[in-house]
Chain A
Amino acid sequence: MSNGKKKRKGPSGSTSTYRTPAQSEQPRRGLLDGLLAPRTPGASPMPKLRTTIAKGTQTALGIPGLLIAIPVVLLVVWLILVALGFQGPFTALNVTFAIPPVTTFADAQVAGRTFRAAVDATGLSATLPGFVGLAGLLLVHAALSAVIATLCVEQLRTGGTSRWALRRALRVIRTTAAIGLLGLGLLVAGNLIAALFGSIGVILGLVGSMVVGIYLFGFAPAIAADEDRRVSDILIRSVRASRMPGSANLWFAIGYVLLALITVVAPLPGSAVGVTPAISAWAACILVNLFGVLVQAILVYRYLVVASEVPEQPPPRARAATR
């Protein structure tokens, strides 16, 4: 199948195949400079959040296949989980279309109840089922995230979608899977912090790790879908994009994580144990997952707008630049 969007494949490497990298020379900044340094009005190439949300929403809602896929995927995932022994709560599926590591947080709970080792199992047999289950769930989220990203990229670039997006998603999965693994690592680190610092640690560790994960790697699926790069380059580029001046990406990540966590812990319909969700539970789950899709579309739009502005190389350190 072809929709005419063919082009010559560029040389192998990490550079974009269809976009001239920005070569702006600016002093290299510290990690927190991207968050805390004062910004001059209009200095950021990032679109305003309000504009981003509107355009991202328009993008996602403009893909009928994606909208139809949400309830279908939820039904399939639920049937598979129930067949494997999961009995709820159904709200665990509220983050099916969310972004890692928010998804990983819920996956750990689902895996713990579904892929349990036999009583009295020891050693590898005690940990393997949970690990395999968690890895499977991580791959499911990676696949969904990849498809959403490629669909949104195609929609934004061409005004429509085709099977190209699904084929392209096969290449994006490795990036989204890597993000999932990084998210898992962040959550483990967050749990350690939570264990060390008690209730404050829960906020710092768990919520913080999710915010950091989304803040740093939120653009990676869009980059993978839009540009031919190695996974490591994609992740680095995502970090650079997230740290662009005046981006408000951190606030966006914080807001998203808090809202996503509320949908997991709030007593929404479907929060009880049971294998037959009510109509209200399905409706709530579909809407919450639509929210996850919209956020991913927003991130894709946000990245594509500034893609040409994201520096290819780290800016030289200020001291070196002044020499």
Chain B
Amino acid sequence: MRTRLLLVVPSLAVVALGASVAAAATTDVPWPQYQGSAARTGDATEAPAPPYTVAWSAATDIGDASHAAGIPAPVIADGNAIVVGRESVDAVDLANGQVAWSAPRSLGPSSPAAVVGNTVLFVEGGGDESVSASGSPSASPSATASVSSSPVKSSVPSAVASPSATTTTSTLVAIDDATRHRLWTIGLSGVSHTGVVVAGGVALVGADDGTVTAVDPATGEQAWRVDVGDHVLAPMAADDAQVYVCVRPESNGTAQLVALKLTDGSEAWRYQPTGSVVDLGAPAVAMESGTSTVYLVSSDAALRAIGADGTQLWADALYTATSGSPPAVSSDAVYVADQSGTVYSFDRSTGAERWRFATNHGAVGAPIVSATAVLQPTSDGVVTAIAPDTGHQIWNGSVADSAIFGLAATSDLIVAAHTGSTPGLTALQADPSGTLTDVPSPTSADPSGLAIGWLAAALPLTAALVLLGRSWDERRSEPLLAPTDEDELPVDPWEADLEDDET
């Protein structure tokens, strides 16, 4: 984007550098898909370093804590942060935090959009799945929905960006980000929670009926469509050749990770973990020495690395289960957070745990990793920055009063999508006047602190209780339930046994 600007209007680059560094920078490092790219690695290498301060906040249609559903995580393109809300898709200008545009959307679970060129792809419809929903259209996963029905495609650009009528299934929608006109829509056979992933020239979307649909993002023509067997609920990841899909069983059974070839949707391999694993989280895929490795969490509170041929490379136990968000992956480490808010760093190659930091804020959204910090959003609106090398907390700050669903990054902003009393987007920027901390994890042993804490609490309390008991005891001349004769005394089993032996 920046290149295009420089070619077309060279002088604007000078102006941008001098007068609006932020605006120029935001177009420098786009974040066009969930977790930054189709790989979902959360790679924010060029993101600003902590400490941060709030740059702006913008209200959008994400919904409050009881009305939000899905993963309304932001994406960034063309200087805007775009988030899929309950009944609209909203774009917020990164430069000033003002809503740049808003496009209507049929009610359905929010899931991350994807941007290809000037086209914004998102999913709409499927009904209300928020906790506030009552008697709403059924949006529960159903494996019985027909997958043979042809998708209903409409390629006529609408004059206005009107949403589809509320339906019990979802629709993939493409709009022009300049005009917000609908370029095309394609109906899906189930409710989609996965969001859109774009890789290998196709846009892919999964549905709860087990289908994965690949579409030409330019025309809306279906490239292929396959049924992977059971519910597809988690966001998918892709590299240049394959898309990785987590399949959750209807009731009993074991979850699976399926690799589909982007060219025709044929199955490359299928991984099924050993043991009782009823669900797998969203995958992230990273290349190393020309081969891909998929990293994902499983419902048995483990992080797993799956090789290019579908074999498990390593697996590590986490302290508690996770929310299923994809791990963040850097050049040498994998970062993941569990539900208790403990963030872990594992060696990418060996799976050896490098460190863990207990934020003690429940984690819902996925972490992202910059050159200087691992940023973990939490369920109570806090963003925690942890040093990748030491595992110590170097900054944390409150962004909202409820869950942060996801982060996106540019070279000068961190954008958080959150629910709460004022749901929407909040941007963080570097705070030159702020200070960094160096807080070790509460899970690190501190023998002296332990001893001091115990002594300071135990000694006075015990002394007070003993003195209280003694003062009561002194007033009492006899046992509370003194026996009336010797026969009522309790038996000493050992001495009674000895007496028996003697006799």
Please, how many angstroms separate the alpha-carbon atoms of A104 and B450 in the complex? 26
Which stretch from B62-70, B284-292, B391-399, B486-494 is at the chain A interface? B486-494
Q: How far is the CB of A145 from chain B (nearest CB, A)?
A: 17
What 1/0 mask marks residues of chain B from 432 to 470 whose CB sits below 8 Å from any chain A CB?
000000000111111001101110111001100110111
Which stretch from A174-182, A205-213, A282-290 is at the chain B interface? A282-290
Check if A276 sits within 8 Å of B461, measured CB to CB: no
> Which among A120, A226, A273, A282 has the highest number of chain B CB atoms within 10 Å?
A273
What 1/0 mask marks residues of chain B from 262 to 282 whose CB sits below 8 Å from any chain A CB?
000000000001111000000
With a cutoff of 8 Å between Cβ atoms, the chain A residues found around residue B319 in the complex are: 87, 113, 273
Q: B446 contacts which of A276, A301, A304 (Cβ < 8 Å)?
A: A276
Check if B490 sits within 8 Å of A87, measured CB to CB: no
Which stretch from A4-12, A26-34, A186-194, A238-246 is at the chain B interface? A4-12
Q: A18-B487, A167-B493, A168-B490 are in contact. Are A120 and B443 (CB under 8 A)?
A: no
Q: A8-B499, A155-B479 are in contact. Are A18 and B491 (CB under 8 A)?
A: yes
Which stretch from A54-62, A132-140, A258-266 is at the chain B interface? A54-62
Q: A5 contacts which of B441, B473, B490 (Cβ < 8 Å)?
A: B490
Check if A304 sits within 8 Å of B481, measured CB to CB: yes
With a cutoff of 8 Å between Cβ atoms, the chain A residues found around residue B45 in the complex are: none
With a cutoff of 8 Å between Cβ atoms, the chain A residues found around residue B494 in the complex are: 167
With a cutoff of 8 Å between Cβ atoms, the chain B residues found around residue A61 in the complex are: 465, 468-469, 472
A274 contacts the other chain (Cβ, under 8 Å)? yes
Check if B497 sits within 8 Å of A157, measured CB to CB: no
Check if A278 sits within 8 Å of B275, measured CB to CB: no
Please, how many angstroms separate the alpha-carbon atoms of A312 and B105 in the complex? 74
Which stretch from A37-45, A67-75, A248-256, A313-321 is at the chain B interface? A67-75
Q: How far is the CB of B350 from chain A (nearest CB, A)?
A: 15
Query: What interface size band does chain A fall in?
Result: 35 or more
Check if B490 sits within 8 Å of A276, measured CB to CB: no
A225 contacts the other chain (Cβ, under 8 Å)? yes
Please, how many angstroms separate the alpha-carbon atoms of A272 and B358 in the complex? 9
Check if A157 sits within 8 Å of B490, measured CB to CB: yes
Please, how many angstroms separate the alpha-carbon atoms of A55 and B476 in the complex? 11
B300 contacts the other chain (Cβ, under 8 Å)? yes
The chain B residue with its CB closest to the CB of A5 is: B489
The chain A residue with its CB closest to the CB of B496 is: A9
Check if B480 sits within 8 Å of A58, measured CB to CB: yes
Please, how many angstroms separate the alpha-carbon atoms of A116 and B321 in the complex? 13
Check if A116 sits within 8 Å of B472, measured CB to CB: no
A126 contacts the other chain (Cβ, under 8 Å)? yes
**Chain A contact residues: helix, strand, loop or mixed:** helix
Check if B491 sits within 8 Å of A63, measured CB to CB: no
Check if B489 sits within 8 Å of A7, measured CB to CB: yes
Check if B469 sits within 8 Å of A273, measured CB to CB: no
Q: A71-B458, A276-B450 are in contact. Are A153 and B442 (CB under 8 A)?
A: no
Q: How far is the CB of A88 from chain B (nearest CB, A)?
A: 8
With a cutoff of 8 Å between Cβ atoms, the chain B residues found around residue A2 in the complex are: 492, 495
Q: How far is the CB of A35 from chain B (nearest CB, A)?
A: 27
Check if B490 sits within 8 Å of A153, measured CB to CB: yes
Q: How far is the CB of A71 from chain B (nearest CB, A)?
A: 4
Q: A18-B491, A226-B490, A277-B450 are in contact. Are A67 and B496 (CB under 8 A)?
A: no
Check if B444 sits within 8 Å of A287, measured CB to CB: no
Q: A62-B469, A126-B275, A273-B342 are in contact. Are A171 and B493 (CB under 8 A)?
A: yes
Please, how many angstroms separate the alpha-carbon atoms of A58 and B486 in the complex? 24
Q: B483 contacts which of A121, A157, A275 (Cβ < 8 Å)?
A: A157
Check if A5 sits within 8 Å of B461, measured CB to CB: no
The chain B residue with its CB closest to the CB of A154 is: B490
Check if B457 sits within 8 Å of A279, measured CB to CB: yes
A17 contacts the other chain (Cβ, under 8 Å)? yes
**Chain B contact residues: helix, strand, loop or mixed:** mixed
With a cutoff of 8 Å between Cβ atoms, the chain A residues found around residue B274 in the complex are: 120, 122
Please, how many angstroms separate the alpha-carbon atoms of A250 and B468 in the complex? 30
Check if A119 sits within 8 Å of B315, measured CB to CB: yes
What 1/0 mask marks residues of chain B from 474 to 486 whose CB sits below 8 Å from any chain A CB?
0010111111001
B389 contacts the other chain (Cβ, under 8 Å)? no
Please, how many angstroms separate the alpha-carbon atoms of A16 and B407 in the complex? 70
B421 contacts the other chain (Cβ, under 8 Å)? no
Check if B499 sits within 8 Å of A158, measured CB to CB: no
With a cutoff of 8 Å between Cβ atoms, the chain B residues found around residue A157 in the complex are: 479, 481-483, 488-490
Q: A63 contacts which of B444, B469, B483 (Cβ < 8 Å)?
A: B469
Check if B489 sits within 8 Å of A281, measured CB to CB: no
With a cutoff of 8 Å between Cβ atoms, the chain B residues found around residue A158 in the complex are: 479, 482, 489
With a cutoff of 8 Å between Cβ atoms, the chain B residues found around residue A118 in the complex are: 317
With a cutoff of 8 Å between Cβ atoms, the chain A residues found around residue B456 in the complex are: 279, 282
The chain A residue with its CB closest to the CB of B298 is: A119
Please, how many angstroms separate the alpha-carbon atoms of A286 and B500 in the complex? 42
Q: How far is the CB of B302 from chain A (nearest CB, A)?
A: 4
Please, how many angstroms separate the alpha-carbon atoms of A18 and B484 in the complex? 11
The chain B residue with its CB closest to the CB of A55 is: B480
What 1/0 mask marks residues of chain B from 150 to 187 whose CB sits below 8 Å from any chain A CB?
00000000000000000000000000000000000000
What 1/0 mask marks residues of chain A from 82 to 112 whose CB sits below 8 Å from any chain B CB?
1000011000000000000000000000000
The chain A residue with its CB closest to the CB of B342 is: A273
The chain B residue with its CB closest to the CB of A167 is: B494
Check if A71 sits within 8 Å of B454, measured CB to CB: yes
Please, how many angstroms separate the alpha-carbon atoms of A158 and B486 in the complex? 11
Q: A58-B472, A156-B481, A157-B479 are in contact. Are A282 and B453 (CB under 8 A)?
A: yes
Check if A279 sits within 8 Å of B358, measured CB to CB: no
Please, how many angstroms separate the alpha-carbon atoms of A164 and B358 in the complex? 46
With a cutoff of 8 Å between Cβ atoms, the chain B residues found around residue A64 in the complex are: 466, 469-470
Check if B442 sits within 8 Å of A273, measured CB to CB: yes
B360 contacts the other chain (Cβ, under 8 Å)? yes
Q: A5-B492, A120-B273 are in contact. Are A274 and B457 (CB under 8 A)?
A: no
Check if B490 sits within 8 Å of A277, measured CB to CB: no
Closest 4 CB pairs of A and B: A274-B442, A61-B469, A282-B457, A71-B458
Further contacts, 5 of them, CB under 8 A, given A118-B317, A120-B315: A61-B472, A113-B319, A167-B492, A168-B493, A274-B442
> A residues bordering B, Cβ < 8 Å?
2, 5-9, 17-19, 55, 58-64, 67-68, 70-72, 75, 82, 87-88, 113, 116, 118-122, 126, 153-159, 164, 167-168, 170-171, 225-226, 228, 272-283, 286-287, 290, 301, 304-305
Ordered by A's residue number, 24 sampled pairs between the chains whose C-beta atoms are within 8 Å are A2-B492, A7-B496, A9-B500, A18-B483, A18-B488, A64-B466, A64-B469, A68-B462, A72-B458, A88-B358, A113-B319, A116-B317, A120-B274, A155-B480, A157-B490, A158-B482, A168-B493, A273-B358, A274-B358, A277-B454, A279-B453, A282-B457, A301-B480, A305-B481
> B residues bordering A, Cβ < 8 Å?
273-276, 300-302, 304, 312, 315-317, 319-320, 340-342, 358, 360, 441-446, 449-450, 452-454, 456-458, 461-462, 465-466, 468-470, 472-473, 476, 478-483, 486-497, 499-500
